[in-house]
Amino acid sequence: MTEQNQTVETEAAETAEAVETVETAVENSEAEKPSYEALEERIAELEAQVKEEQLRGLANEQNLRRRHQEEIANTHKFAGQKFAAEMLPVKDYLEMALLDQSGNFDALKMGVQMTLNELQKAFDATQIKEINPAVGDKLDPHHHQAMQTVVSEQEPNTIVSVMKKGYTLAERVLRPAMVTVAKKED
């Protein structure tokens, strides 16, 4: 045999072997192919898993929402707790002043001063600050409320007098200062 014939025979043998391998693989793949019912069953299993995950996710979302609403409710419910605790000594001092039957005006005045000091401590602890503009300050509509205007030698729209102090809580106006404002003579 010639070398060329040997090569052709080797290639033919290899080709026959490759064809046989492919035929075996096709036969095996046809034997391993799942049936239509098996595919439908697998699809149903996967859909059930997806549905279960969706339900679990919805349940988690509802739990988070419920916990968040409870936290907000508790925050609103106990928002004044710090201020209320600060006000208890003020109430105690006022009650003691009312129980005093001594008739001693100086003692009563001292008790009222102590009560006012306690109230100021409570205000400081809870960030309540006074708005007490000085005479001659410009009217600030964010912090002052003009209750009346009077003819004055002062520049128009300046404060002539303070009727009631205003107050802020953490820089939010609780009550504006009620003031009298200067106006030009007509």
Residues 133 and 114 reside in one and the same domain = no
Q: Mean pLDDT for the chain? A: 86
- Gyration radius of the chain's alpha carbons: 44
Residues 70 and 12 reside in one and the same domain = yes
CATH of the domain at 157: 2.30.22.10
Share above pLDDT 90 across residues of the chain, in percent, rounded to a whole number: 46
What sign does the dihedral 106-108-112-117 (CA atoms) show? positive
Residues 85-129 pLDDT 10s: 888 988 988 888 888 788 888 888 888 898 999 999 989 988 899
Mean predicted confidence (pLDDT) in 50-79: 91
Residues 10-57 pLDDT 10s: 776 777 676 677 677 666 655 566 788 888 888 899 999 999 999 999
For residue 56, what are the domain limits?
3-77
Are residues 115 and 93 in contact, defined by beta-carbon separation less than 8 angstroms? yes
Please tell me the distance from the alpha carbon of residue 153 to that of residue 136, in angstroms, as a whole number. 11
Query: What is the count of structural domains for the chain?
Result: 3
Length of the chain: 186
> For residue 27, what pLDDT is reported?
66
